[in-house]
Amino acid sequence: MRNTTPKAAPLSDEFAAGGGLLHRRAFLRSGTVLATSMAAAGLTMREAVAADGPEWMTKQGAPLRPYGMPSPFEKHVERAVLLPFGPVADGTGVALTPLQHLRGTITPNGLHFERSHNGVPQIDPAKHRFMIHGMVKNPLEFSIESLLRYPMVSTVCFIECAGNSFFNSNLFSKAMQVPVGHLHGLVSAAEWTGVRLSTLLEETGADVDAKWLLAEGADAAGMSRSIPMEKALDDVIVALYQNGERIRPEQGYPMRLVLPGYEGNMNVKWLRRIKVLNQPTYTKDETSKYTDRRPNGKSNLFTYTMDAKSTITHPATGLKMQGPGVYEISGLAWSGHGAVKRVEISADGGNSWADAHLEEPVHSRSLTRFRMLWNWDGKPTTLQSRTIDEKGNTQPTRAKWSRSYGPGQLNHCNAIQSFTINPDGSIANVFI
């Protein structure tokens, strides 16, 4: 993020809301210059071009290689690995997407977040089998080779862990000062390609009163969840490809379920079987875990859809301001209910709001990039964003979200994220 000094102060009609939020046209009018002036460096353009080229123009570059890797100068761009039980259980935990270092809407495969309950199994695709059994007419076993012969579909969607944003949940009474990737990086988006689950269920056939499925993974956690038949027949994919290449081991190689919009936990990785049933199974992952505490002490079961949500990623914790001036605020918005319709930004702690620009295409149930121009006057300022999705869902303040659940509630936190920009350029996570 670079600061710029506008040549002209914004006109009053260029402000979109309080705290310095600007309409997009203000950037053009201000004649903002982001680059270094060559005149200031004492060079004419002719002298600068005639001077010796950079060092890397003087020798042959690195040889061609079979699989590309990021530049060594980007080493700091990596997932944050958090192991709640320490190194004794290093397959249990999360690896969070570094949102503060990414500017697009699709997560590179090496940076897709990971949530695993008992490590990543190394599965030989030649030996892997996927079964559909239970209340079906024709139980079937599929090899990867056979699955690759079915007609495929692709869906661009996010996967979000129900526990995403846990640092802002009722587990914490104080806002944690960690990068935005730690705060909200249990969400990633990819283009998933595979076979519709409905295509495979058509082949096995299902009894008329079969209303539920049990999906189980081939990891040491044997992670399993119940899935309503209605969702299975609607848009669930048995995915084999992630952004065009075969799914990464961390994401479920050689195959996983993708349930667009539903909580991450149900997207069973390393999928080995689906049992067709007439009732849910009440597995450990849908009873002791992934249930929601109500204020009255009871719990909600089967809260599938991930709510409308957003976070600013630039500027955000993990980054630093470069002085007063014009910045582009940018961030990510999403909703498990459908497409993001609007994103509003506030630069005065929620007193006034203005619509951000949404980057096209806006995919239903995927990450949408929003942008808004902002003139920071160098004073303490609190930035917020809130999504309004196509069904009218939006985000509560953190105080309201916190009250609507019981103590210790961790999952499904879609509270508005607030970042305070301090005069020294530091950025803080704050609870409002």
Which residues make up the interface to ligand MTE (CB under 6 A)? 112-117, 159, 161, 217, 219, 221, 223, 250-251, 264-265, 267-270
The amino acid at 429: N
Q: Is 341 in the site for Mo ion (CB under 5 A)?
A: no
Instruction: Find which of Mo ion, ligand MTE, none residue 269 binds, CB within 5 to 8 Å per kind.
Output: ligand MTE
Q: What share of the chain is helix, strand, coil (3-state, %, to 5)?
A: 15, 30, 50
Instruction: Find which of ligand MTE, Mo ion, none residue 223 binds, CB within 5 to 8 Å per kind.
Output: ligand MTE
Q: Which of residues 150-169 bind Mo ion (CB under 5 A)?
A: 161
Q: Identify the helix (H) or strand (E) that includes residue 430.
A: strand 427-430
Q: Give the separation between CA 334 and CA 2, rounded to whole angstroms.
A: 27
Task: Find, among 15, 18, 36, the residue nearest to 353 by Cα.
Answer: 18
Residue whose CB is less far from ligand MTE, 182 or 341: 182
How many Cβ atoms sit within 10 Å of the Cβ of residue 104?
Answer: 11
Q: How many residues bind Mo ion (CB under 5 A)?
A: 4
Q: Give the separation between CA 382 and CA 116, rounded to whole angstroms.
A: 35
CA 48: distance to chain centroid?
A: 43
Residues 6+ apart with CB under 8 A from 338: 261, 364, 365, 389, 390, 391
> What residues does 132 pair with on adjacent strands?
140, 274
Q: At its nearest, how many Å lie between Mo ion and the CB of residue 182?
A: 16
For 27, the 3-state DSSP assignment is helix
Instruction: Find which of Mo ion, ligand MTE, none residue 363 binds, CB within 5 to 8 Å per kind.
Output: none
Q: At its nearest, how many Å lie between ligand MTE and the CB of residue 412?
A: 12
Token pair for 244: 């065009």
Instruction: Find which of Mo ion, ligand MTE, none residue 112 binds, CB within 5 to 8 Å per kind.
Output: ligand MTE
Token pair for 227: 């899935």
Instruction: Find which of Mo ion, ligand MTE, none residue 267 binds, CB within 5 to 8 Å per kind.
Output: ligand MTE
Q: Is 256 in the site for Mo ion (CB under 5 A)?
A: no
Q: Give the separation between CA 281 and CA 224, rounded to whole angstroms.
A: 9
The amino acid at 195: V
Q: At its nearest, how many Å lie between ligand MTE and the CB of residue 101?
A: 18
Instruction: Find which of ligand MTE, Mo ion, none residue 116 binds, CB within 5 to 8 Å per kind.
Output: ligand MTE
Residues 6+ apart with CB under 8 A from 340: 308, 310, 333, 334, 358, 362, 368, 387, 388, 389, 390
Cβ-closest residue to Mo ion? 161
One character per residue 104-123, x = contact with Mo ion (rule: CB under 5 A): -----------x--------
Instruction: Find which of Mo ion, ligand MTE, none residue 113 binds, CB within 5 to 8 Å per kind.
Output: ligand MTE
Q: At its nearest, how many Å lie between ligand MTE and the CB of residue 236?
A: 13
Q: Give the separation between CA 423 and CA 381, rounded to whole angstroms.
A: 9
Q: At its nearest, how many Å lie between ligand MTE and the CB of residue 104?
A: 17
Instruction: Find which of ligand MTE, Mo ion, none residue 414 binds, CB within 5 to 8 Å per kind.
Output: none
Do 140 and 132 meet the contact criterion of CB atoms below 8 Å apart? yes
Q: At its nearest, how many Å lie between ligand MTE and the CB of residue 431?
A: 24
Residue whose CB is less far from ligand MTE, 285 or 389: 285
Q: Give the separation between CA 197 and CA 230, rounded to whole angstroms.
A: 11
Q: Give the separation between CA 332 and CA 105, rounded to whole angstroms.
A: 8
Sole binder of Mo ion in the list 20, 260, 264, 315 (CB under 5 A): 264
Token pair for 297: 């002490």
Residue whose CB is less far from ligand MTE, 269 or 412: 269
Residues 6+ apart with CB under 8 A from 80: 95, 96, 98, 179, 181, 182, 185
One character per residue 70-109, x = contact with Mo ion (rule: CB under 5 A): ----------------------------------------
Q: At its nearest, how many Å lie between Mo ion and the CB of residue 251?
A: 13
Q: At its nearest, how many Å lie between Mo ion and the CB of residue 247?
A: 17
Q: Is 265 in the site for Mo ion (CB under 5 A)?
A: yes
Residue whose CB is less far from ligand MTE, 14 or 250: 250
Give contact residues for Mo ion (rule: CB under 5 A). 115, 161, 264-265
